[in-house]
Each structure stands twice: as C-alpha cells, then as structure tokens.
Amino acid sequence: MNDMTGKTVLVTGGTGGIGRATALGLSRLGARVGITGRDDARTRTAAEEIARASGNPVDAFPADMSSQAEVRRLAAAVLDAYPRLEVLVNNVGGFWATRRLTADGLEHTFAVNHLAGFLLTNLLLDRLKASAPARVVTVSSGAQRMGVIDFDDLQGERNWSGQRAYNQSKLANVEFTYELARRLQGTGVTANTLHPGVVRTSFAAEDSSTVWKVMIPLMRPVMKSPEKGAATSIHLASSPEVEGVSGRYFVNRKPSESSTASRDAADAARLWRVSEALVGLAPRNDAPGA
C-alpha cells in the first residue's frame, strides 16, 4: 500500500465510474481528496459517500467542465481550499454521438475531453510546482491509437463523427501529456497518461451511437469493474515506483507505447499553442527551449 497521508489530490469527474473509484482508492491511502462533478447535489453526495467509505474527509467542487468560466471558477476554488496540491487527476471525459456546442461555442467532445483538463492543469500548475514533488495524471484511452488531430477541422464542422471526435480527443490527451512533461522538466512535477481498459461505466449513456448501443451490452460481461479500471490512475498518483517518471503512457500499471501520431513532438507543440488560444491563455514561458 502506498501511503498518501498528508497529500492533497484533485480528481475531476469523481462522482461515478473510474473517477469515483480513483477518489475512493486514494482517500483510503490517506490522501485529502477533492472531486469535481457537473451536478451540485450529486457531487456533494458522492463526496460524503466516499468519505464514509474511506474514513477520510472528501471535498466537493461542483463544476460543469464544458464551460471555461466554470473551469476557471473551479481552479480558483481549489487554490483557495488547498495551500498544497500534490496530485491532479484529469479524469473527466465522455462520448457523445451528436455534435453539440458548449457555452463557449466549441465542439463539446473536444472541449470536455481535452480543453477542460488543459485549462485546469495550466491554472493549477504553479500550485503543483510549489508542492513538488507533484504529479499530473491524465486518463486517455486505447482509442488514441485511432485518433488524428485534424488541425483544419478540430471542431468537426466539415466532417463530423462522434467516434472520430472521441478518438481525436483521446489522442489529444496523450499529446498534451507529452508536451506538458517536456515543459515540466526540472520542476519536480511529472505528467503521465493512461489507458484504463474497457470498464463498466456509464460511457456513452447520455448520447449513445447505434454501434455503442449494440456493442456495450455484448461487451459488458468482459469489461473491467470501475475499481480495476482505476488501478492505473491510482498507481500513477501514488506509487513510489513512478516517482520521477514523466512523459509516459501506461496500460495495466505498466509503461506502454502509444501511437506513432502521439509521439510527434511538433504536432504536440502545435496542439498546445492552438489549445492556449481556444481557452484564452497567454503563452507560458516554459516551452522547451524558451
């Protein structure tokens, strides 16, 4: 068991599925855990239930991660609540079959699965650096292997597919992690990403495609439990084995090789610049070579 006593952790999307199992696992290791959730009542209820199950206090930070104003409000609340932050787990994400826009006018899948974590991480980065050694853990998916970052149509305006948008966002998670790791060299903050496996969650339940409506019931008997799906996130957040390890992609708690596309450093740097513009962040001076 990895002792997390005295450590503070934020898990986004912590009200159900992998995120909730991650929050519970880290709380049981002794960490002070905060969770985010879209619905205020559900987030507070989940925090209370995790606290009872773990025996440690859990904080609720309700926030709709599709909204950049909400992400900024969330970051301010976290900074106000936590003088130190040793671990950020970017877990929130999902699949939506229908193209929709956020309050910011951005395509919803890209906004939630990539831009929300990108913005939140950048807003919390100075606190993470001040708390070093610290870790950023981002939940991607094996779908990153099928992803293509289409810089000419990031928002899917000309060529839309729910699956294509999901694959692109999961590839973006990996490229973001690799670029973040390059920028964090020498700071004491590591950045890693992972594929949790195929897990029994509410994946695609809100807006499912025909394919997923057929496939999920067939796959359910062989899917991992949320607890098993959370194992790699918990490992990367807590294990001494990965102390100092950064810029890696993990599967089943072991380093693995992500797609060829994900390892294109020029694409990752371009994605970072485009993401900064989309969320209204001024370029940081921690780019490699800056």
Strands 189-195 and 248-251: parallel
Query: Measuring CA to CA, which residue among 286, 281, 287, 278 is closest to residue 115?
Result: 278
Q: How far apart are CA 252 and CA 250, in angstroms?
A: 7
DSSP label at 59?
A: E
Query: Backbone phi, then psi, for 59, in 5-degree steps?
Result: -100, 145
169 contacts 113 by C-beta, under 8 angstroms? yes
Catalytic residues, by residue number, are: 166
238 contacts 135 by C-beta, under 8 angstroms? no
Instruction: Retrieve residue 89's tokens.
Output: 């787990």
Residue with tokens 């490229």: 175
Q: How far apart are CA 17 and CA 29, in angstroms?
A: 19
